[in-house]
Amino acid sequence: MRLRVIGRDPLPEAWTPQGAPHVWLLRIDDRAPWRPEEYERVLDAQERTRAAGFVRPLHRERYVASHMALRQLLGAYTGTSPEAVALVREPCPGCGELHGRPAVAGSPPRLHFNLSHAGDLALLAFADTPVGADVERRQPDSVVADVSRLLHPKETEELDALPPARRTPAFARCWTRKEAYLKGTGTGLSEAPSVTYVGTGPAPVSPPGWTLTDVAVGEGYAGALAVRERADTP
């Protein structure tokens, strides 16, 4: 795997639900790009089409590297080769169309996963209940000022009350929590960012039935994880 594992040990031998999610933080090595003959035999048709659509080689390499990592991990968890992993989409909770959470066809029971990548980082999460992960680069003040108007009214109020130096990291925390939660539910941004409150402070506010956790991903980035509570959770 031509990525540096920051947050976890080497590849597991098989998937065993353990309650706590497995979280992988990887740094993409842009100096060792994947050659087309290497990744085209592993990625499926949809992934290859998406990779070919990037204009900038750097963006293509980061997409390919993160999806190769996802397939290598899923292959290790399911006991199959990376190219044999059949990625599908679950039905969307809102409309029923097949663009909801990603899944593996015929995967072991209770294997859920999610992938996010930004810049040279990739964040991957695996859990025994639905899970969402998000990593984002911190945005400039101008973007924060515009997008913060779209958040939950209480979150907007919290940001407005902060001095400028603290507003940008607070917005990053809030946005990654929100993205992780919406990816976990499978609705994505078909649910407006103003609907669910996740908070902007140091500790996330978890929506009912979910647990939100901030993930330390390094300077200039923010990361978050959302895991749906198990039915047997007290």
The pLDDT tens digits of the residues spanning 15-34 come to 555 557 888 989 888 888 88
- Band of residue 99 on the pLDDT scale cut at 50, 70, 90: confident
Question: According to the model, what pLDDT value does residue 15 have?
Answer: 52
- pLDDT of 114-164, one tens digit each? 999 999 999 999 988 999 999 999 999 999 999 999 999 999 999 999 998
What pLDDT digit, counting tens, does each position of 53-74 carry?
999 999 999 999 999 999 999 9
Chain center to CA of 211: 15
Of the spans 6-20, 77-91, 211-225, which averages the highest pLDDT? 211-225
3-state secondary structure of 76: helix
Q: Compute the distance between CA of residue 139 and CA of residue 222 in angstroms, rounded to an integer.
A: 10
Q: What's the pLDDT band for 234 if we cut at 50, 70, 90?
A: very low
Phi, psi of 19, deg, nearest 5:
85, -65
Q: Is residue 1 over pLDDT 50?
A: no
Please give the average per-residue pLDDT across 105-114, as a whole number: 81
Q: What is the length of the chain?
A: 234
What is the rounded CA–CA span in Å between residue 77 and residue 170?
35
pLDDT band at residue 176, thresholds of 50, 70 and 90?
Answer: very high
Give pLDDT, residue 8. 47
In this predicted structure, the answer to whether residue 187 has a pLDDT above a threshold of 60 is yes
Q: What is the share, in percent, of the chain residues with pLDDT greater than 90?
A: 64
Confidence of residue 2 (pLDDT cuts 50, 70, 90): very low
CA 17 → CA 20, 44, 49, 86, distances in Å? 8, 27, 33, 20
Q: What residue type is assigned to position 133 of the chain?
A: A
Look at residue 14 and tell me whether its pLDDT is greater than 70. Answer: no
Mean pLDDT (whole number) for 88-96? 82
Instruction: Record the pTM.
Output: 0.90
Percentage of the chain modeled with pLDDT above 70: 89
